[in-house]
Amino acid sequence: MRHVLVLAGGLSHERDVSLRSGRRVADALTRSGLEAYVRDVDPTLLGLIRNSRPEVIWPVLHGASGEDGALQDVLGSLDIAYVGSRATACRLTWDKPVAKALVGAAGISTPVGMALSHATFRELGAPDLMESVIDSLGLPLAVKPARGGSSLGLTIVRSAAELPSAMVTAYAYGDITLIERFIEGVEVAVSIVEDAQGQAQTLPAVEIVPDSGVYNYEARYTAGATEFFTPARLSSSTAASAAAASLTAYRTLGHQHLSRVDLIIDSDERPWFLEANVSPGMTETSLFPMALEAAGIDATGVYATLVERALTTA
Amino acid sequence: MTSPRGQHGSRLDPWTHSYARRTAGMSTSEIRALFAVASRPEVISLAGGMPCLTALPMETVADTIAHMLKTQGLTALQYGSGQGDPTLREQILDVMALEGISAHADDIVVTTGSQQALDLVTRIFIDPGDVVLAEAPSYVGALGVFSAYQAHVAHVTSDNDGLVPQALEERILGLKSAGKRIKFLYSVPNFHNPAGTTMSLERRPQVIEICHRHGILVLEDNPYGLLGFDREPYAAMRTLSDEGVIYLGSFSKTFAPGLRVGWALAPHAVREKLVLASESAILCPSAYSQMTVSTYLATSDWMAQIKVYRELYRERRDAMIESLDVLLPQATWTHPDGGFYVWVTLPEGVNAKAMLPRAVTERVAYVPGTAFFADGTGQRNVRLSYCYPEPDRIREGVRRFASVVQAELELLETFGPYDATGRGSGPSTGVQFPAPDLS
């Protein structure tokens, strides 16, 4: 019986989501016949890993503690197989402006944007710089921390008066803020998972229609607050182009095993890359398990396959 | 571009359209998620209101409980009276006598913590739209109950001496002229949660008189009254009016909150309805918990234990106030002479709720002031609690908190005043308070 250590929790802003995701992954692995248990990331972890030597580690960590590549570097140095993308891919993805630049260079549309630090606003003067940003990008804008997930710190800015508040909100989560032109359209998430042979497969796109109009934290994690259409109500050609764009992002960023790519489909059927996630949410309201279910794929089997893939690709 | 729209998708909750309207605010929230980190030991939590149980003589308590179970287990593990254990109700009279209350055990209803008493009182008095008057700020747990019963909360100005009588009078007159029906005034007169203030002895009869004149019941919530640092307890408001005051008490702060034992002392007719309401909710309060408390009161020097708690909390209060004096000159705060909390007012323009993510990054937690208002005010305010962390941790926590405030002030300096009402990902209606088990 495989011995799998699922890491969840950590000290990030997304600790709560990670704990919920981790428990669900461990439950699914247990149902598939593996010996899986959940551990928090704390100062006792490395000692536990050295002593118990799990065959595979699955970091179901959201936020900096699990998605910025540092933990993956550590796991690599311990020579233990783990599920998910390698450290470099994590770093490229974790930094949203970097990910956008790489995916954009690969030919996928991504909203024009600027990544600005608080120091930049201080040096250049906030009123002038904010005016310049709006002149350049127009309105509405999506303002969010350059690093982080679960839409924490996200504000959709529809008037110039709302921008200062949005900036301060985003800076509460980190030093760099990404300001993007907001693309009106259908919001979809495309999950990608490797099969037993290592072929990356796209799952049916999930269309997201939040009651509040913004897919923020509350809309993500309050059951009933968002309506999901799976598969998304896209024509077959649009669905295919969304899947192709997602796969391009997956490969460009060097992802491995599993991933989720967030897109907007505009009125011209063009997919716009927003961001990608090396550790997609696995909670009861998360998009990755929803896509598996829509595809008629049993999550327990997929997760067990990913454990085997981790051993193969270690 | 798409296949036909308008079809129904999945909401991941088949009962979405079946919930009562009063559940509208029961959503998850960013703030609630951020509090999850507060459970980690790296984070200094100045957020929760957990009593410091390390000060309890745990072995003695354990022996007491074991003996009680061995000798009275058949009663302790059985259903009990809906009104509560008669012996405990007699003992509660002794506890309330410390605050000058003279009553009859028949008028006491034992509840599952005083929170359940709060729920029962609200249930039997409030119809949707009725008005509850409450201090500004007010206990978040009470606001949650009032919201659940669809009451309209009207805050009344409070200062360092508690509720301001003139403001109360004006508020009542304004509401009445608007055709509103006011059912009761909710007040925490001693060592207020979250304000840390105490209603002065001078004001208490004035408040009672105003409410009496306008036919408004007073709900006196007094969990901290015996935890004063520098003086004997004030006489309870209940001593001024037998018929016009419902008094709520609790063993959560003077003994242990895990037992969930509180009580209501109510006028006779009200008490009868409270018992019936309680029986319909829970049948009876836990006999085991009541007998544990009763045995503790009968066999231990519980007054001495309260003195231990007072000294411990006084030391922690001092650590917090001294640190604030040194580290946060830009802010003002209350000086509690008992209880658990300091209420901080930050400089104009600072939004305490929006800076919570930075606080979590800095490994310190607090409760933003907006949690304590039903109307969204309190953005500049923060509740800091000193009851749980040790003094050195409190000092370090305040240092971290001060650095968070400083960073927020720098942002404010850069971006200038702004409209913060829509800050974050939209005004949240979700729960804005840590779960009870998070310190």
Rounded percentage of chain B residues whose pLDDT exceeds 70: 93
Q: Is B304 on the interface with A (CB under 8 A)?
A: no
pLDDT score for B1: 45
Looking at the predicted structure, is the pLDDT value of residue A236 above 90?
Answer: yes
Active site residue A260: yes
Of A217, A229, A268, the CB nearest to B30: A217
Instruction: Tally A–B CB contacts below 8 A.
Output: 162
pLDDT score for B10: 87
Per-residue pLDDT band for B14 (boundaries 50, 70, 90) equals confident
pLDDT score for B429: 42
B98-156 tens-digit pLDDT:
999 999 999 999 999 999 999 999 999 999 999 999 999 999 999 999 999 999 999 99
A109-113, A310-314, B77-81, range with the lowest pLDDT: A310-314
pLDDT score for B241: 97
In one-letter notation, the amino acid at residue A48 is: L
Q: Give the residue from B15, B425, B428, B437 with the most A CB atoms within 10 Å of its CB, the best one to mutate.
A: B425
Mean pLDDT calculated for residue range B18-47: 82
Nearest CA in chain A to B355: A172
pLDDT score for B21: 83
Mean pLDDT calculated for residue range B290-306: 96
A167-190 tens-digit pLDDT:
999 999 999 999 999 999 999 999
Active site residue A191: no
Mean pLDDT calculated for residue range B169-174: 98
Torsion of the alpha carbons at A20, A24, A26 and A31, rounded to the nearest 10 = 160
Neighboring chain A residues of B12 at a CB cutoff of 8 Å: 223-224, 226, 228, 284-285, 290
Active site residue A216: no
- Count of Cβ atoms closer than 10 Å to residue A129 Cβ: 18
B residues 152-211 lying closer than 8 A (beta carbon) to A: none
Neighboring chain A residues of B37 at a CB cutoff of 8 Å: 11-13, 15
Of B8, B357, B408, the CB nearest to A153: B357
B277-297 tens-digit pLDDT:
999 999 999 999 999 999 999
Mean pLDDT calculated for residue range A128-150: 94
Q: Which helix or strand (DSSP H or E) is residue B159 part of?
A: strand B152-159
Per-residue pLDDT band for B420 (boundaries 50, 70, 90) equals low
pLDDT score for B426: 37
Collapsing DSSP states into helix, strand and coil, what is residue A38? strand
pLDDT score for A314: 79
pLDDT score for B9: 85
Contact between B416 and B13 (Cβ < 8 Å): no
pLDDT score for B423: 45
Mean pLDDT calculated for residue range B228-243: 95
Rounded percentage of chain B residues whose pLDDT exceeds 90: 83
Looking at the predicted structure, is the pLDDT value of residue B432 above 80?
Answer: no
Any long-range contacts for A307-310 (C-beta under 8 Å, 24+ apart)?
A307/A2, A307/A4, A307/A29, A307/A34, A307/A56, A307/A58, A307/A83, A308/A196, A309/A83, A309/A194, A309/A196, A309/A198, A309/A257, A310/A56, A310/A58, A310/A81, A310/A82, A310/A83, A310/A84, A310/A257
A210-226 tens-digit pLDDT:
988 888 888 887 888 89
Neighboring chain B residues of A218 at a CB cutoff of 8 Å: 27-30, 425, 428, 430
pLDDT score for B436: 59
Contact between B427 and B92 (Cβ < 8 Å): no
Letter string b/e over residues B298-327, b meaning 16 or more CB atoms within 10 A of that residue's CB: eebebeebbeebbebbbebbebbbebbeeb
Q: Is B424 on the interface with A (CB under 8 A)?
A: yes
A residues 196-255 lying closer than 8 A (beta carbon) to B: 207, 209, 212, 214, 216-218, 221-230, 232-235, 238
Torsion of the alpha carbons at B376, B342, B162 and B188, rounded to the nearest 10 = 80
Mean pLDDT calculated for residue range A125-146: 97
A7-66 tens-digit pLDDT:
999 988 889 889 999 999 999 999 999 999 999 999 999 999 999 999 999 999 998 878
In one-letter notation, the amino acid at residue B281 is: A
Of A224, A269, A284, the CB nearest to B11: A224
Distance of CA B387 to the CA centre of its chain: 14
Please give the model's pTM, rounded to 2 decimal places: 0.91
Per-residue pLDDT band for B5 (boundaries 50, 70, 90) equals low
Q: Is A213 exposed, middle or buried (0-12, 13-18, 19+ CB in 10 A)?
A: exposed
Looking at the predicted structure, is the pLDDT value of residue B439 above 80?
Answer: no
